[in-house]
């Protein structure tokens, strides 16, 4: 049961920014995760990278001058992984669930192992990792902000249904958590990148005329994590896709 005095205290509490706060970024050793970790680090956060790739992780952590935990979030207990992070780095205020993978199979070819791997990586791991970190935040009565890196394909066809279904689940998880954790002072949001990578083969489909770069995602990610900027935003899912999601069947007709 929420006590009114507690709610009032939270409403009146000064909203902390990024500086000095502890942030964890899963899959932070490269690409989008690395760009977000770099932007958080620049903004003064104490960043902890979690990644399964030992070499990339060591190089990223050296480059940013931040901490690293080598682990595979899809294997074993993600609760135990969160406990390791808490033991080594204390309560985490800013949680970035960036890890996400797919395999290149369509519905009729997909093996059960592939299904399990993608769902364990994109949904199960982040779920239990976040839950354990959230328990620590609540126990410490801290404000916290959680960001999931979802995808344009949470709501649009990808041709890899296990991937799009996992991202649709993430999109709904964000809303559920925003509702459930809001009274504890924990905000939960998502960004949904479009096509982030090299190559221009689909550039014609993108109103802004180019593929995105990790650096297009990082500033918005930081803004959604930063209580001083987005302290009254929760349950949001922001497309970062250059307008790719606006693509219409009418683009293929003379109409």
Ligand X SMILES: NC(=O)c1ccc[n+]([C@@H]2O[C@H](COP(=O)([O-])OP(=O)(O)OC[C@H]3O[C@@H](n4cnc5c(N)ncnc54)[C@H](O)[C@@H]3O)[C@@H](O)[C@H]2O)c1
Catalytically active residues are 163
Cβ contacts of residue 98 below 8 Å, gap of 6+? 25, 26, 27, 28, 32, 33, 36, 149
Site for ligand X in 178-207 (CB under 6 A): 193, 195-197
Q: Any contact of residue 54 with ligand X (CB under 6 A)?
A: no
Three-class SS state of 234 = coil
Site membership for ligand X, residue 151 (CB under 6 A): yes
Stretch that binds ligand X, among 3-11, 69-77, 182-190, 246-254 (CB under 6 A): 69-77
Q: How many CA atoms lie within 13 A of 95 on its CB side?
A: 30
Shortest Å distance, C-beta 154 to ligand X: 9
Asked if 158 is part of the footprint of ligand X (rule: CB under 6 A), the reply reads: no
With contact defined as beta carbons under 8 Å apart, do 137 and 91 qualify? yes
203 in Cβ contact with 209 (< 8 Å): yes
> Which residue's Cβ has the minimum distance to ligand X?
100
Asked if 161 touches ligand X (CB under 6 A), the answer is no
Q: Residue 50 or residue 143: which is nearer to ligand X going by CB?
A: 50
Element (DSSP H or E) covering residue 145: strand 144-149
Give the distance from CA 237 to its chain's centroid: 11
33 is a site residue for ligand X (CB under 6 A):
yes
Q: Where do contacts with ligand X occur on this chain (CB under 6 A)?
A: 27, 29-33, 51-53, 56, 72-74, 98-101, 121, 149, 151, 193, 195-197
């Amino acid at each position: 049961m929420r006590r009114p005095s507690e709610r009032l205290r939270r409403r009146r509490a000064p909203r902390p920014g990024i500086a000095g706060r502890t942030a964890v970024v899963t899959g932070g050793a490269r690409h989008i995760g690395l760009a977000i970790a770099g932007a958080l680090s620049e903004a003064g956060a104490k960043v902890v990278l979690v990644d399964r790739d030992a070499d990339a992780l060591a190089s990223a952590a050296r480059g940013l001058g931040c901490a690293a935990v080598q682990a595979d979030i899809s294997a074993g207990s993600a609760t135990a992984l969160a406990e390791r992070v808490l033991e080594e780095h204390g309560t985490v205020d800013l949680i970035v669930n960036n890890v996400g993978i797919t395999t290149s199979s369509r519905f009729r070819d997909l093996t059960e192992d592939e299904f399990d791997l993608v769902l364990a990586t994109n949904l199960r791991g982040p779920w239990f990792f976040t839950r354990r970190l959230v328990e620590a935040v609540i126990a410490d009565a801290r404000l916290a902000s959680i960001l999931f890196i979802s995808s344009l394909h949470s709501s649009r066809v990808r041709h890899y249904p296990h991937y799009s279904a996992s991202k649709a689940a993430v999109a709904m998880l964000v809303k559920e958590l925003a509702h459930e954790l809001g009274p504890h002072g924990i905000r939960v949001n998502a960004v949904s990148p479009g096509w982030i990578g090299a190559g221009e083969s689909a550039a014609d489909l993108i109103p802004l005329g180019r593929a995105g770069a990790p650096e297009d995602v990082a500033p918005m990610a930081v803004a959604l994590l930063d209580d001083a900027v987005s302290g009254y935003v929760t349950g949001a899912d922001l497309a970062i896709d250059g307008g790719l999601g606006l693509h219409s069947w009418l683009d293929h007709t003379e109409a």
